[in-house]
Every structure is written in C-alpha cells, then in structure tokens.
Amino acid sequence: MTAVNPVFFSATTGLSILRSATVPLIFALAVLIVIVSGGIDVSFAAVAIFSAYTAVSVTLATGQDLPALAIIAMAVVIGAVLGLVNGFVIARFRLPTLIVTLGTQGVFVGVMYTFVGAQYYAQLPPSLAALSSVNVVDVATSGGRAALHLMTLLAVVLAVVVWLMLTRTMFGRSLYAIGGDIEAARRAGFRVVRTQLSVYVLVGVLAALAGIAHMVLGRSANPQDLVGDELDIIAAVVLGGASIFGGRGSVLGTVLGVVLIQVINNSLLLAGVPSAWLRAAVGVLLIVGVGVQAIAARRKAKRVRPVDDDVSHERESARVAS
C-alpha cells in the first residue's frame, strides 16, 4: 500500500486512523456486550444521535452555558432511558432482539425529528466546543501535525472498563452464560431479565457517549448523522471474533476488528477506490465472518453428537445388563 501512497504508514495517518476509529470503537464496545449476551442491537446509532442531539439542542434552546459534564450527563441519562425501553420490551416479552431494536430505531428517530427537531447546528455549546480542540498528544511530523484527541483517550478508557467488566465481574460471566445458553443460565440461577435490562441500559450509556464524541470531533450537531453506519460496527465486532450466536467475544478482538475496518476504509480511499465500494467491501467481510462462524459451529455440533450417542449407548447397555 505504501507503493500506492507513501503517506499510508506515516505517523499522521496512524493517528488519523485512531481518531476515525474513536466513535466506531465506542459503538463496537456496546455491540460486543449485546452480542456476547446472545442478542443483536441495531438501534445503537439512533440512541446515540437522539441522546447527544437532544442534550445539545436543549442546551442551545435554553441559552444556558452549561458545563460540558452537565451536557454529557444529560445525554447519558437519555441514552440510559432509551436503552431501558429496549431492554424492557426484550426481557419482559421475550421478543427477538433484532426485531425490537429495528423497530425502536425508527421510533427513536421519528420521535427526535417530531419533538426535538431536525435543525443542523454548526456551533456546539461553548463548553463542548472547547473540547473539540483538546489533544492529549500533539506533535509535528514531516507529514504535518499528528494529534491524539481527548475523545480517543475516552474510547481507550471505555475499552479497558468493558474488558474489566467482562473478565473480572460476575455480571460479565452472566453475559457469557446467557449468551451461550439462556435456559441453562436460568436453571443455573442467573437473573436473566435483570441482566438483559442492564445490558441495554449499558448499551444506551455507551451509545450516548459515542454520540457526544461524534459531535465533539465533528464540531457540529447534525440529527441525520450516524444512523446507517450500523453495518460497519457489527462487521468489526464479528471480524474481531465475537460469535453472532452469542457466548463468545473479547474486547481485544473488537478493538482489532474496528482498526481493521478503519485501515481497509483508509487504504481503499488512499488507493483511489470509489467510496461506493467501501460499504460493499465491509458487507463481504461480514458475510465471510458469519459464514466462517456458522461452518465452525456446524462442525463442532457434528463432533459432539457422536460422543453423546456413545454415552447414551453405554448407559442403555448398563441398564440392560443390570
């Protein structure tokens, strides 16, 4: 790829990829949690834009110069409530997660347009706008200035928190148990309904933070952003090793999946490939990833079945002999 464009492996490009991966990574962490628990959520982008846009819109409409933390907290609370709606419908009525979140995606966007508005804000509230220029690292290179934004650091911190939650807490273990076999998890004493509610509330919180990060990085608030990018996020999580059937997935794999998608997108752009092909490439990768998982699951089932048959035969022989 360097032969195509020597800028590709520069420090500036590397940090640019990290910056572009910031919002997708936060989204991917939310999707990872859902997939590990055996579900699928396609409403996270709608939750993100609803939460962040509403918080920004209310702040600008009231003319209050609220601190950035207050605006972020407002968005997080809204995201948690929207996530609770998803979780309640899914857990209480045991409906398919894909259908529920596909429906609530449309509901959330429609409610936002109807009751909050559809105005594009070129300027954020002053406190949020100030965050747009905050870089943790900012160095001069031969290819220009290379900067690591504060929002990228936020994404890294969230990745560490989710990793600790999944690997070091009973809640994390319950997610893997429920995703592996929900009925077995119920029999084992896991509180499935409470866990599912918590999962979608957590997804709402992460989505709200992703929405805020998107607006801070873009220095504007557009209610038409984010919705439609779900394919890239789900593909990144699946390519990172998370099983679309639930019960398996890791933060490290998800991070690598997000970076892979960003590298592919940047590579194709630098190579002069039309942007229309980017979505096609991601779609192919998603199909391949799910196909590999399905084949592996089928082979595993074939290996387990003969063992189960042998055990049943031995038990039957022992019963007859006795």
pLDDT tens digits for range 152-169: 999 999 999 999 999 999
Q: Which residue has the higher pLDDT, 286 or 52?
A: 52
Does 253 map to a domain?
yes
pLDDT band at 139 (very low <50, low <70, confident <90, very high): confident
pLDDT tens digits for range 18-77: 888 999 999 999 999 999 999 999 999 999 999 999 999 999 998 888 999 999 999 999
- Provide the pLDDT for residue 148: 82
DSSP symbol at 116: I
User: Nearest-CA neighbor of 30 among 185, 229, 288?
Assistant: 229
Does 313 map to a domain?
yes
Does 150 map to a domain?
yes
Does 5 map to a domain?
no
Q: Which residue has the tokens 């019960």?
A: 247
Q: Which helix (H) or strand (E) holds 317?
A: helix 276-321
Is residue 29 a contact partner of residue 53, using CB atoms and an 8 Å limit? no
Does 23 map to a domain?
yes
Helices 22-36, 230-239: axis angle to 10 degrees equals: 60
pLDDT tens digits for range 88-125: 999 989 999 999 999 999 999 999 999 999 999 999 99
Contacts with 214 (C-beta within 8 Å, 6 or more apart), sequence order? 23, 48, 52, 225, 226
pLDDT band at 2 (very low <50, low <70, confident <90, very high): very low
Domains contained in the chain, number: 1
Does 3 map to a domain?
no
CATH number (domain holding residue 122): 1.10.3470
Does 2 map to a domain?
no
Domain that includes residue 264, residue range: 11-321
- Provide the pLDDT for residue 14: 74
pLDDT tens digits for range 254-283: 999 999 988 888 788 778 877 778 778 888
pLDDT band at 1 (very low <50, low <70, confident <90, very high): very low
Structure tokens at 317: 């022989």
- Provide the pLDDT for residue 266: 79
- Provide the pLDDT for residue 320: 47
Does 221 map to a domain?
yes
